[in-house]
Every structure is written in C-alpha cells, then in structure tokens.
C-alpha cells in the first residue's frame, strides 16, 4: 500500500489528513464533476496551471472497498464498457477514492480521438477490451481519499495528493499540467491536434456539480451541444433518411428555442445510426416555444438526443452560422443543453 506523502501524513487518533480544507466524511454514493467555463482566449498569469483539453468522455471513478465504478458526467454507469480501465484502477483498490478524469481513445499518433472512442464501445454498449487503439483514463483531480473529502482543499494540494496516491499504469495515467505562458501552451495544444486547453486556478476548491470561473476552457474551434428536435424530409441521395436536423436549446425559462438546422457532417454510417435513434422520438407536436422559420415540411422529434455542432458563430438571435454535425453526445443530459455564449477571459 502506498503511503501519503510526508507533508500530508495522517495525524491524531481520528486519522485526518494534515492538509487545509480536508474534511472527514463518509464517502458519498454519487458525485457530480466540476465544470469549466468556456472563454474566448487563453490567459497567462501567476497562480494558474494549464492542461490539454482531452477529446473523450468525462468520467468519475469511485473506488470503494475494492469495488470500482465508472460514472459519466450525467451519472450513467460506464463500468462494464471499459474493463481495461477498471482492471488497472483495481490496483489502487486499497484506498477509498473519488477520481475525476477523461476516458480517451488514442489514434496511431497517440492523439485523443473521440470518433475512435465512439466506434469502439462508448455509445453502443459493447465491451471487447481488445481494441487496437489504446483506451486510457487520464486523471486530473481527486475529490476523496481514504476517509477525507477533499473538495475544500486547494487545487495545488489536490494535485500533489493525486500524484502521491494513484499508481500510473498502461490504462490509467495522470494528466500533466504546466505553468508559465498560457498562450504558448494553447498554441502547442492546437499544433498537436488537441481540442484546446483548460486553465485552472491553483488556489481553487473543487466545486462539485457547478460550472466555475476557477476552471476556464479554451477551444481551438467553436462547438457546442444542441438538441435534435426535428428533421426536414430527405430528397435525392437522402430520400431514404432525412434532409437536415432541426436544432434547439433551452433558454433561462426552460423553453425550447430554435438554433438552426444542420445538413452536413454525415457519412452513410452516421446517417443510418441517427435515423435509427430518432425513430422512437417522432411526434406530431412542435416542441419549440413558437414557430420555426423553415418553409419545408418538418418531422418533429422529442428533444431527447444531444448533438455536438461545429459552427462559425452564433448570431444575436441565437442562430448558428455554417453549422457542421460532429457527433452525438449521450454523456450530456438533454435538460442541461443551454446556449453557452463564450465569455471573455480578460479580467479573471
């Protein structure tokens, strides 16, 4: 069994961690991850660290009395889908832990590829464990250790506790973080095919279940999640599927608002997959709060499927310019789909 570093040695009969902000508590049954705020530009200032933004599935690992459970951002059980990760996490099973990280599939150049992860098993329920592409759980935070809740511990100390506690293996790795010039780090991430970067304030607590300004994400391209709420009727080469997907998002009052439609970004396999998924969602009721400015016929859908869309910009009316379909996002709760306008990083 690994021991926690000298700085964080256990003290007293209660065995509490000797670190500011740690609190003895029962290990919670569930745990919601902290979320980053999307901003326009990278920052460079003291007291912040920088991590690559990995293109995968956010996952919470809960290790309780030797039992490993992997949970998605919305609480779905992923344990059976990633047996290689579970097996390696069991090597840390002598500790009670809550870990936060990203499950990624690495391509031939060791770059994260969401498409490979999606094809492998993440959204199909298959579990083979024999993919030719490495499936790795990259951990970047720790929220519970032995008998202590760490959400009140500064990030700088949580990082040290994480490095001292978790055993790196082939399928379980720690995310490396950097300090210094955030702009240059972002540029390096883009050059190396990363989705962007995440900036984190070293003195920040872990705000479970909240979107925080203590974590900022900068993306190399504009993309966001929208609800598939209908589709136009396909013609020509698309007469057996659909023309374009009608997209929406919830406003602050919980009303579904029209965001535009997307008709590009699909290959034949994806068209068939989406057609199969939207079949049970057909409805005669317009789910939007108001009329949709589309002249052609629309097949309405219950807004239960989330799609990630790349776009040039979002207009003042909340409409997408030059949208391109990227992928389905089963890891995001449809009720959480809001229009997240990018916020400027300056002044943080």
Q: Per residue in 152-203, pLDDT tens?
A: 999 999 999 999 999 899 999 999 999 999 999 998 988 887 888 999 999 9
Residue 200 to residue 183: CA distance in whole angstroms:
14
CB atoms within 10 A of CB 95: 17
For residues 214 and 78, the answer to whether their CB atoms sit within 8 Å is no
- Which of 135-139, 188-192, 205-209, 248-252 comes out lowest in average pLDDT? 188-192
Q: What is the pTM of this model?
A: 0.75
Q: Catalytic positions, please?
A: 53
The answer, yes or no, to whether residue 13 has pLDDT greater than 80, is no
> Which 8-state DSSP code applies to residue 171?
S
**CA distances in angstroms from 96 to 64, 69, 90, 152, 162, listed in the order given:** 5, 12, 11, 18, 13
Residue 159 to residue 157: CA distance in whole angstroms:
5
Domain covering 6-35+52-176 in this structure, CATH number: 3.30.470.30
For residues 53 and 193, the answer to whether their CB atoms sit within 8 Å is no
In this prediction, residue 7 carries a pLDDT of 58
In this prediction, residue 14 carries a pLDDT of 43
> Which 8-state DSSP code applies to residue 175?
P
User: What b/e string do you get for 179-216 counting C-beta neighbours within 10 Å, with b at 16 or more?
Assistant: eeebeebbeebbeeebbbbbbbbbebbbbbeeebebbb
Q: What is the DSSP string of 295-324?
A: -S-EEEEEEEEEEEEE-SEE-TTS-EES-E
> Which 8-state DSSP code applies to residue 285?
S
State the number of CA atoms in the 13 A half-sphere of 267 facing the CB: 4
The answer, yes or no, to whether residue 49 has pLDDT greater than 90, is yes
CB atoms within 10 A of CB 341: 10
The answer, yes or no, to whether residue 286 has pLDDT greater than 90, is yes
Of the candidates 334, 329, 325, 333, which has an alpha carbon nearest to the alpha carbon of residue 271? 325
Domain covering 223-336 in this structure, CATH number: 2.40.50.140
For residues 330 and 306, the answer to whether their CB atoms sit within 8 Å is yes
For residues 135 and 82, the answer to whether their CB atoms sit within 8 Å is yes
What residues does CATH 2.40.50.140 cover in the chain?
223-336
């Amino acid at each position: 069994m690994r021991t926690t570093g000298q700085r964080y040695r256990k003290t007293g009969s209660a065995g509490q961690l000797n670190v500011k902000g740690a609190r003895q508590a029962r290990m919670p049954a569930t745990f919601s991850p902290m979320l980053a705020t999307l901003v326009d530009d990278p920052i460079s200032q003291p007291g912040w660290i920088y991590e690559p933004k990995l293109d995968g599935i956010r996952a919470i690992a809960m290790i309780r009395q030797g039992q490993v459970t992997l949970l998605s951002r919305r609480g779905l059980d992923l344990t059976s889908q990633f047996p290689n990760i579970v097996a390696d996490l069991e090597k840390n099973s002598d500790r009670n832990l809550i870990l936060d990280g990203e499950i990624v599939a690495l391509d031939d150049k060791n770059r994260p590829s969401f498409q490979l992860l999606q094809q492998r098993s993440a959204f199909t329920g298959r579990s083979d464990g024999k993919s030719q592409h490495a499936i790795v759980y990259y951990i970047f935070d720790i929220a519970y250790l032995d008998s202590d809740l760490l959400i009140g511990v500064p990030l700088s100390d949580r990082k040290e506790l994480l490095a001292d506690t978790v055993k790196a293996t082939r399928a379980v790795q720690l995310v490396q973080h950097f300090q210094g010039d955030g702009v240059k780090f972002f540029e390096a991430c883009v050059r190396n095919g990363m989705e962007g970067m995440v900036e984190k304030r070293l003195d920040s607590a872990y705000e479970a279940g909240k979107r925080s300004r203590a974590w900022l994400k900068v993306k190399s391209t504009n993309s966001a999640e929208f609800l598939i709420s209908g589709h136009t009727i396909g013609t020509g080469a698309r007469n057996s599927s659909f023309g374009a997907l009608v997209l929406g998002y919830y406003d602050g009052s919980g009303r579904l608002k029209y965001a535009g439609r997307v008709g590009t970004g699909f290959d034949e396999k994806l068209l068939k997959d989406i057609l199969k998924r939207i079949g049970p969602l057909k409805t005669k009721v317009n789910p939007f709060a108001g009329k949709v400015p589309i002249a052609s016929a629309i097949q309405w859908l219950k807004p239960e499927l989330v799609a990630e869309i790349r776009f040039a910009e979002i207009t003042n009316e909340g409409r997408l310019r030059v949208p391109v379909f990227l992928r389905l996002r089963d890891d995001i709760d449809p009720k959480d789909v809001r229009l997240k306008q990018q916020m400027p990083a300056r002044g943080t």
